[in-house]
Structure 1
């Protein structure tokens, strides 16, 4: 997309006109004077652009704000991002995989209208109105952002000197895309991401018009603003790195051209260009990125639901929550409940035994079952089958009830419900043949297998020196790995596959040989036998400590990347990248069984297929041009080739940079991940339509006469198809009306599976 500025003088006035983009040709790489000899071209009147842009912007406002309060219930991932806004407003610490910028914006909208954050968006379908939630203010913020994308796309195309029909087509593909509209009407991060990507492309294009005036005021302004916008992209979601790649492609192309010795630049001058871009596009944006985290930590200064993800050093920087009052030092002979951090389930045992032979033919020890049970109301602590006495080893029998338990201590666990001791041994577990079975040993058997009942309490927080860290164990507060001393496996459970009927549908407990895995973490949840006169009832507030910002940021950054990589489990609406460009399938966002209404996230199939068609045509044009030039047949003018390879090539590269990397990812993927690529493909499509109808064999590459009529007719046909599809699928985009099953079946295009088709 290499463009440069050409200084022009208004006819008869001697005044300089506003900077205009100029394209590089092949000769530009070898001839410095190509800029001065480029032919000036007549532009369309500005009022046509303004009228068209205002019209399409008004349409964008209508489709995004129409019935924005419907449904008045929590929809899809509003359960996450609405909840995070509430945590910001209450200043309680939480953990999320995404950077804080967009979430801070959402919380700011709530703060502006005076909301206190008391509603926690717990479940899809929870009613906003009955809880007094200003959800329309939240959604309106995203609606404004989604609306702004449309004029920005239009003005980007105008800045690149495309015609009004081309600008209109690109903006209509975004304005009436069902997926973009849905994401702009709900409390999600994607509207902020798409706006930031669109703004970055526009600002970089604007910067390109000043390349002939390097280091002037406006050159610096547009370059710096490009960096600011890039920081907003990467500060919203980490897939923003693909936008960095896109801009990086353009920057490398610029520097490659400037490197040509015929340009006359000295090494110090080249270095100045390089470091200007390095500062404006990488260093300065990174500082802004860090600022959002600084604000994040400054606001979230109270202990909250995210504490368990962080190290104890980090937690000591937070003001204690009311939950901290329940945290007590654990002593030997305390009767406790043990809870798994990942699945929030209780360690459990009962008198039932493992079957002698499992369904796959493997043999068990045929002894007492040890499982995990989950209770959302936490009433399981009252069940003696979930209670365990923490007992010292024979070497430490002198320990009495007043001696505290420390991490790295070796202990035994006596099951209160049945009186035996927790044990693991070299027998395969029921569901994981490579893991060890956990069971209970009684009486003489427990004494004979004494070594198999010993477990080390290892502090589970990662970091330098934490493996053998010795600190007092506290209920609810100290994460532990319970390591079997004899066979060196970690106690572990999982909820992705439950035990069959003989195991009552409980979670399997087994010994994991990969003791370094983070999901081996447990904590002592409650001390059941704590007496009223016990001094541990007296609460002593902790002292809040200071920790350098960069240390907190580095810890959080590592945890974010780690947990992002864990999102590899299957999801019923996850899809692979090969299904995205043709919008083959979508995502069910919300459904109301009583009124048979639904919101289904799907792209505008007409628009998606149109973009793919023109992407394919473009590859054909490149191939044809290369083949004909090999035979010394020059069909395209230099100016046309510049637009084909540079301007349209930049858009094509941007689309590819935002699309193909998803094939390399193992994490869950959804259709909304394609929207940044779809945005760039929309601009590409408008540009290619104009290119196909321009006189590309002459020095002019503009639409004129009959070709303009043909291009306008094609734009009109595509636009009608896109708008028709949008309104045809409107009922499942807005979720405001129910339609008959036969009408739902008519909308089950491709692999789209909708509710209430029967």
Structure 2
């Protein structure tokens, strides 16, 4: 198929092809300019406004309908409702997500006068009994979810798409059960998706100002885009994918600006540098400062000790008031009897007279030395005496404090032996060293070096006093540099199923940390037990921020345990599984987080169609077949392609993640797929190539252009033909839109009881909704 515009373009001249993003000006010929002008005038703007009003009303109705049901804690409300209460109590907590979304919930609680007394401990706890303003909390995500539908409509409108395309894209989000279900509960995803969509809208508005760079509107939309992006990543770290989306579009834009053959004229390098710096400031630097700002608010509010203390270093905990760890801290002196406890597993360092077996189950041979294990209960076998590297004359070392960096020995009191590790494989980890003990005479002689350990306090300066509770440390074996470590897998019966203690060659691992829980040998009336009232210390913001970031990333990556409702990325486009949020046995009601299968399948199918169209077009161009006019191809690649890039950037990175994944992680990508669907339906029924083909012969026959411009009579002839064809196209597009939304609405209504938790369903009705074997409750 040849290009229908070829004859016409030969007459009006061919200029440099300038790709369009979002259907904006300029065009590359007078005919294209007139085509664009006609298209922009029909339908009129009021049609869009009326449609937007209807969509807005429906969005608020679907999100707020029955929002007070159930009046119990649902699914992850146990987390984010709890965090709001902690903010209101100013109690420090730890979470793997940044603070922005949680701060919004706290703001809502503060506005309605809630004091944070309820801690959302268990799914199913009553909000009514505990006097919790849960409807106000749920109203925030419902509001943002409704506005997200509005923003989707505006994205399509601002991108220059027809009214049916705008209605279709927004309708797919409007009647999607997963978007509705996630925005009716105290969860973060509504905030994430809303600001993600605002970022896309902001960038489109910014790009449309590209012909007036550095103007007031240009700067306004650049900075608003950056702010929205910062809100996305300040809600969840998957907001990074939004930065990838906008970043790719910006790189393409800058690459085009660098072209010396630009149609608008080449930019000198100084001007190009200004464009680069402006985008870097507006889309990277300023968003980063907003991101830091929310952490500053987070630290300023959470000034009291709380359940998050254990995740932070002793220095950090000293900045919190009422911190029990520091109130109970005591200086450790040489010859004190101490109990050592592992920070993560909470087991005590323990030993007993029993020996390691000669051979383990895998045939490896042990040292047959005395067992050193981890024991979860307090026991006299947990007591160790801390000794100096070199013996101190009697009486002179009793009051000598242990310092960070000192070399020490640990004597097990009950068996009167010295702790040791050596180059013998541990029971469960052949690469790690075995821990055992040896008699005093060996420890003082040939095994002296093997019994030396260094106290290495976390973030403590060398030479500072070593303290109980607050003095979290790693016990590093001096000769081999391994760190004393334990884990949760119990040893066999020969060790009474106690925890294995071994020498970890990865000394930097954060799970190597221990602390001194108590000093049993210290009398109750000892001057060291006299507590002074301590004021919270101050740490610079950046030190606190960096420490929290490290902890957040570590624990986020550690979320690898299996979960009954966890899913894989390849499940999401086909909606193979959902998540059970809430059930009530007496009424047979349940909330099952599931998208609208029909909407998901249509959007996923059109993603594949888009990839196929682009592939076919590229193959055709390689073979000299130019099937698309320039405007259509530009819209397909640059606008629909931008939406497809947004989907891909929010979808494919999940294949690289090892943490638990759920269906809600797909919501930003699904929104982008709805944009692709709306744009592609318009492309399929696009009439512009037909208009060009029919009118080019008319214009060529008239031969009445002057300087490349069309006469008024030719324009009138062209408009009559184009209006007729556009009318036919619009009817076809509306028909397709109505048919798609009708079946999507059916799916939404059919799965309504699972989304809203009302009404209860009979077993037959539950089984009828198991389209793909969804693991629903009450099916029997």
Question: Equivalent residue for 1:470?
Answer: 463
Corresponding residue for residue 592 of structure 2: 600
Note if 1:85 corresponds to 2:84.
yes
Deviations 1:492-541 (A, max 9, x none): 1122x333455555433222121121110111123344433112332113
- How far apart, CA to CA, are the structure 2 residues paired with 1:385 and 1:66? 62
Asked whether 1:458 is paired with 2:455, we answer yes
Which among 475, 482, 494 is matched to residue 489 of structure 1? 482
- Change in Cα spacing, 1:531 to 1:664, as seen in structure 2 (3 Å) is same
Give the aligned partner of residue 751 of structure 2. Answer: 729
**Counterpart mapping for 1:145-164 below 5 A:** 145-164=144-163
- The separation in 2 between residues aligned to 1:588 and 1:594, in whole angstroms, is 17
After TM superposition, the structure 1 stretch with the greater mean CA deviation from structure 2, 239-248 or 445-454, is: 445-454
What aligned pairs does 1:88-103 form with structure 2 within 5 A after superposition? 88-103=87-102
Q: Equivalent residue for 2:3? A: none
Deviation string, structure 1 residues 37-78 (Cα, Å, up to 9, x no partner): 854322224443333333333333333333333444443333
Aligned residue runs from structure 1 range 211-610, under 5 A:
211-261=210-260, 262-267=263-268, 268-349=270-351, 354-365=356-367, 368-374=370-376, 380-381=377-378, 383-393=379-389, 395-396=391-392, 398=394, 400-415=397-412, 420-440=417-437, 451=448, 454-461=451-458, 469-495=462-488, 497-500=489-492, 503-591=495-583, 598-610=590-602
Distance 1:342 1:570, change over 3 A: same
Distance 1:288 1:521 in 2: 34
Scaled by the length of structure 1, what TM-score is found? Answer: 0.86
Distance change >3 Å, CA 751–CA 337, structure 1 → 2:
farther
Instruction: Provide the rounded CA distance (Å) in 1 between the counterparts of 2:665 and 2:31.
Output: 44
User: Which residue in 2 is equivalent to 1:190?
Assistant: 189
For the residue of structure 2 that corresponds to 1:477, the secondary structure is coil
> CA–CA distance in 1 between the matches of 2:455 and 2:176?
53
Residue of structure 1 in register with 2:729 after alignment: 707
Which SS does the other structure have where 2:179 is aligned? helix
User: What residue is the counterpart of 1:750 in the other structure?
Assistant: 772
Evaluate the alpha carbon distance shift between residue 390 and residue 644 of structure 1 in structure 2; reply closer, same or farther with a 3 A threshold: same
Q: Using the alignment, how far apart are the partners of 1:371 and 1:147 within structure 2?
A: 56
Contact 1:648–1:684 (CA<8 Å) still a contact in 2? yes
Q: 1:59 touches 1:175 (CA, 8 Å); kept in 2?
A: yes
> Is 2:422–2:450's contact at 8 Å kept on the other side of the alignment?
no
Give the match for residue 645 of structure 1. 637
For residues 391 and 733 of structure 1, do their structure 2 counterparts lie closer, same or farther at Cα, with a shift above 3 Å needed?
A: farther
The answer on whether the counterparts of 1:639 and 1:699 sit within 8 Å (CA) in structure 2 is: no
1:89-168 to 2 correspondence within 5 Å? 89-168=88-167
Instruction: Name stretches of at least 5 consecutive residues in structure 2 with no aligned partner.
Output: 1-20, 693-721
TM-score normalised to structure 2 length: 0.84
**CA deviation profile, 1:410-434 (whole Å, cap 9, x unmatched):** 3344445666554434433332232
Equivalent position of 2:614 in the other structure: 622
The CA deviation at 1:478 is 1.3
Q: Does the 8 Å contact 2:337/2:519 carry over to 1? A: yes
2:708 equivalent in structure 1: none
Deviation, 1:229, is 0.9
Tell me the distance in 2 between the aligned counterparts of 1:638 and 1:595: 60
* Superposed displacement of residue 296, structure 1: 2.0
Deviations along 1:568-609, whole A, 9 cap, x unmatched? 444444333222222223334445567665443333222222
- Structure 1 residues 469, 753: CA separation in 2 closer, same or farther (over 3 Å shift)? farther
Q: For the structure 1 residues 280 and 394, does the alpha-carbon distance in structure 2 shift closer, same or farther, using more than 3 Å as the test?
A: closer
Shift of 1:652: 0.9
Seen in structure 2, the aligned counterparts of structure 1 residues 489 and 370 have a Cα distance that, compared at 3 Å, is same
SS of residue matched to 1:697:
helix
Q: What is the aligned partner in structure 1 of residue 651 from structure 2?
A: 659
Give the 3 Å change call, closer, same or farther, for CA 739–344 of structure 1 in structure 2: farther
Offset of residue 392 of structure 1: 4.1
CA–CA separation in structure 2 for the residues paired with 1:362 and 1:392 = 34
Q: Give the direction of change, closer, same or farther, for the CA distance of 1:571–1:421 in structure 2 (3 Å limit).
A: farther
Whether the aligned pair in 2 keeps the contact of 1:320 and 1:542 (CA below 8 Å) is no
Match of 2:176 in 1: 177
8 A contact 2:334–2:402 mirrored in 1: yes
Q: 1:424 to 1:735 in 2, by over 3 A?
A: farther
Structure with greater Cα Rg: 2
Q: Hey, what does 1:40 align to over in structure 2?
A: 38
Q: Contact (CA 8 Å) 1:637, 1:698: kept in 2 or not?
A: no
- 2: CA distance, partners of 1:416 / 1:143: 62
Q: 1:38 to 1:67 in 2, by over 3 A?
A: closer
2:199 is aligned with 1:200: yes
Q: For residues 416 and 542 of structure 1, do their structure 2 counterparts lie closer, same or farther at Cα, with a shift above 3 Å needed?
A: same
- 1:508 aligns to what SS in structure 2? strand
Seen in structure 2, the aligned counterparts of structure 1 residues 619 and 544 have a Cα distance that, compared at 3 Å, is same
TM-aligned CA deviation for residue 626 of structure 1? 2.6
User: Any idea what the Cα deviations from partners look like across 1:359-404, whole Å, max 9, x if unmatched?
Assistant: 4344445555443345xxxxx34x3344444344552364654333
Alpha carbons of 1:665 and 1:150: their partners in 2 closer, same or farther (altered >3 Å)?
same
Instruction: State the Cα distance separating 1:289 from its structure 2 match.
Output: 1.7
Change (3 A) 1:78 1:430: farther
Q: Give the distance between the partners of 1:397 and 1:69, measured in 2 at CA.
A: 74
| Aligned-pair CA distance for 1:456 | 2.3
What is the DSSP-based 3-state SS (H/G/I as helix, E as strand, rest coil) of the residue aligned with 1:698?
helix
**CA distance, structure 2, for counterparts of residue 594 and residue 494 of structure 1:** 42
Give distance in 2, aligned partners of 1:595 and 1:53. 38
Q: 1:655 to 1:218 in 2, by over 3 A?
A: same
Aligned residue for 1:673? Answer: 665
CA distance in 2, matches of 1:385, 1:595: 54
TM-aligned CA distance change 1:515 to 1:114, over 3 Å: same
Partner of 2:690: 698
